[in-house]
Amino acid sequence: MPSDPYAARILVIGAGSRGNQYAEAVKEVPNSIVAAIAEPIELKRKNFCKKWIWPEQEPAAEQEFDDWHQFVQYEKTRRKRAAAGESVEPGVEVAFICILDELHVEAITALAPLGLHIMSEKPLATTLKDCLKIYSSLCPDGPQSQPSTIFGIGHVLRYSPHNMLLRELLLEDQVIGEIISIEHTEPVGWWHFAHSYVRGNWRKESTSAPSLLTKSCHDIDFLLWLLCSSPPRSNLPPHLPSTLASTGRLTYLHKARKPIAAGSATNCLSCPIESACTYSAKRIYLEKHLKAGNTSWPVIIVNPDIEDLYATQGLPAAETALLKSLAENYDDATPKSEVERRPWFGRCVWECDNDVCDDQVVTLTWDDDSLPPGQSAGGDENAITSDGGEGGDVLKGRMAKTAIFHMIAYTEAQCQRRGRVYGTKGEIAYDSKTISVYDFASGEVKVHQPHQPGGGHGGGDAGLVRQFVNAVEAVRNGMAVQEAQKSFIGCSLEEIVRSHAVVFAAEEARGGGKVVEWREWWKREVEEKMKL
């Protein structure tokens, strides 16, 4: 597309499903364009360019890069040329990080010195150490300093109309009074879990990360957004958790559960019970998706050529290519490094090397946390005071409470979150489409049906991109970075790190069979290590 000199110019790093989804969202946002792509797979890179950057001709050199390393070298050279007075092509001011989770840390820390505004797909990184490395790269003067650029994370649940209304009802309107407890469930979806967390890239903790991080870190962030972060337009300190605990395991899709009738088969296409198996790869990818006309996710993840083959040569050619990919397998002679290097989408789900949890519960608790003297949460005459009486508001939004999160793989619903919030004056039930408020005093139920804009995560993908671009635009127009970060992104870099840290603390609790004291853990694992 032609260059707009007034638009925020965006580099997308990674032309996979997330890179394309964010590029699609950029298309709907004024004052922004996808200006360049960094992607090592040539076919994916060329397809991305044709779709989002320059559909009618070949892209220029500054619009496509083999990877982010090549971009960094190019950008350093471009800036040197500009400093020498040479006329140079326009650069980018924004980078979207849409590569594999374990690659985020190297890319972000390399881009940070360039002063670009950065938005990263979740999770931030796969270890706490790498999260802190990113934190340090963006705040080189220490955690008490502020980043000099906008930083966003793919915690898209914050940005859907549904969840924004839910938070408004809970924190601003306080329709159920003070929150006492919340139960929140993420139903992953039976075949989605098999695709991504049994056969796919996120199947092993050692090569990726725990599923609580790779799948559910934005659910943990969602809970902290509701129960920990201050309401909009508030400068109050966060109400931090007191303790957290977790239980979970891989319960079903492992070798001990393999049906006897499957025998020694390790691949669906050679299995005697394939046609009757719920988890047949042929059934999931060919029958459920490709033959229904779906050539995008998850089929395109199995074979990136499928989309073009289907469009140019039809279903038979696409089917042949898909089945060839599904037939790929490994045996005892295959080096472990080769097995772990890539996904195996035709592999028997009971013969994979997966080990991440398919059923996990995290419990967080908060204690009463009075505001410091002289600080007020607002003028609610019924707010509870520190001595249990009424008429003050030092505990408004800061009462003791509990959150229970459940991630479960074996569900009909796919990522359609649901939950209940219990308050002092009522109760809220929510799913991905409606919010039902029950009032204790009147006995009435009010049902809200928030706008469903379409797109990923109930409009959350587009909402995040829109807010991020708005923040960049505000900085371009003179707003301070910290103010724009709060006003448009709605969370600080510290909050981003905190929500990831809660995941790592929960995993420590699960692995050690213990309850973690949050403030002690944060001081030991974050504050003290950041000082180093």
pLDDT in tens, 28-64: 888 899 999 999 999 889 989 999 998 777 888 899 9
Mean residue pLDDT of the chain comes to 92
Which of 69-78, 245-254, 451-460, 503-512 is the least confident region? 451-460
- Rounded distance between C-alpha atoms, residue 48 and residue 429, angstroms: 41
State which amino acid sits at residue 346: G
Confidence of residue 387 (pLDDT cuts 50, 70, 90): very low
pLDDT in tens, 448-504: 998 877 666 677 889 999 999 999 999 999 999 999 999 999 999 999 999 999 999
Contact 280, 274 (CB under 8 A): yes
| pLDDT the model gives residue 28 | 86
Would you give the DSSP letter of residue 472?
Answer: H
Query: What tokens does 372 get?
Result: 């410091």
φ, ψ (nearest 5 deg) of residue 341: -70, -25
The predicted model gives 169-191 an average pLDDT of 96
Q: Reply yes or no on whether the pLDDT at 391 is more than 60.
A: no
Percent of the chain at pLDDT exceeding 90: 82
Three-class DSSP labels, 338-394? HHHHCCCCCECCCCCCCCCCCEEEEEEEECCCCCCCCCCCCCCCCCECCCCCECCCC
Contact 409, 358 (CB under 8 A): yes
- Rounded distance between C-alpha atoms, residue 395 and residue 420, angstroms: 22
Contact 523, 136 (CB under 8 A): no
- Rounded distance between C-alpha atoms, residue 323 and residue 445, angstroms: 51
| pLDDT the model gives residue 241 | 97
- Write 229-234 long-range contacts (CB < 8 A, 24+): 229/491, 229/495, 230/397, 231/171, 231/172, 231/397, 232/171, 232/172, 232/490, 234/377
* Beta strands at 117-120 and 94-97: parallel, antiparallel or unpaired: parallel
- 3-state SS class at 342: coil
| pLDDT the model gives residue 393 | 63
Q: Identify the structural domains of the chain with CATH numbers, from first to last.
A: 8-149 (3.40.50.720), 161-252+355-457+497-531 (3.30.360.10), 255-341 (no CATH)
| pLDDT the model gives residue 379 | 46
Q: Look-up: residue for tokens 């199995």? A: 302
Would you give the distance in Å from CA 88 to the centre of its chain? 36
State which amino acid sits at residue 305: D
The predicted model gives 122-136 an average pLDDT of 96
Confidence of residue 262 (pLDDT cuts 50, 70, 90): very high
- Rounded distance between C-alpha atoms, residue 149 and residue 112, angstroms: 9
Which of 220-229, 233-242, 406-415, 441-450 is the least confident region? 233-242
Q: Which of 84, 98, 132 is nearest to 23 (CA)?
A: 98
Confidence of residue 74 (pLDDT cuts 50, 70, 90): very high
State which amino acid sits at residue 208: S
